[in-house]
Structure 1
């Protein structure tokens, strides 16, 4: 955990976050590809560090599709994003709680997560992953300060992040390969869309069944 915290500081200090931008995707693609058989490992480790260091994940998600194609891109991105979210959670819970609490200070609304989790558990993770109430990277750390179990957090986060992961990597992979079967691309995008819509309706259903969403949205 101490090493992870040190790596966060290194990423921020060296300004590596500035390289992870949409306009640099071609450059990043060449750099990752140059690692040959080690490219997947380098990509996953880099993605995890990016998530932990508050670097926007969308460019890296698209990069996964560009480098590895729709199938393996989805696998690598899903693994990396979930591991990154879990590592942030563990850092907040066990290694740097005081530091994370200072990070949370400018966002008093995040304090509602703790109270809501105490009442509604994993459903709050589902809601905040599907509804952009709070920044994704901050959520990862915020949940580490709550009472939610690690297993429930990890599984719910993975499931609720998966539809967007599929959609973005499939789209980027299709652009990269060009000759990839268009019907297969549309099928996977359609399935991802259906799953995303289904998951996005869950908060509304939950709101009708409980006060979970109200606990997050109400003032105070």
Structure 2
């Protein structure tokens, strides 16, 4: 179901009134419609199936060397994403690093980006987001292992409470062969994220 923009506008007016504001004053008059447009974009992934982006695969054995299969991981680094924390509806944003060990079939790299964007475009917590990305890739691609590292800054940390503007959160989700910390050490090094490396040291 698509975002109900009319309802978002109505509720935004109520929210502004609830905090003691006048939704009809010049600076706020367009805010309800702007919020409806924003929410339609930010939560576009609520009813979207991330697996749909992985349906079209590419055979790697049909080429100059038909008996050759990939021997190493496919790593896509620094996918920028933004999401909304479901606890306070404040934004969090950062980068995702995805790796998988392909079999005979691979997927276009843009499809991996779409998986991240779809799952991030809904109320989320970072820990679950990483696990959902890993599950989507592991369940719908021909793969022997999946690794997802997310490094993000959260509005609920930078804007409220302790107000730590430089604090970021790193999460790691692994499937298949990459559940072995030794097997994913090379990838963590390639990602080059100091936060991810320190996380691995604690795992």
Report the TM-score when normalising by structure 2. Answer: 0.26
Higher radius of gyration, 1 or 2: 2
Report the TM-score when normalising by structure 1. Answer: 0.25
* Larger proportion of helix: 1
Answer 1 or 2: higher relative contact order, Cα 8 Å, separation at least 6.
Answer: 1
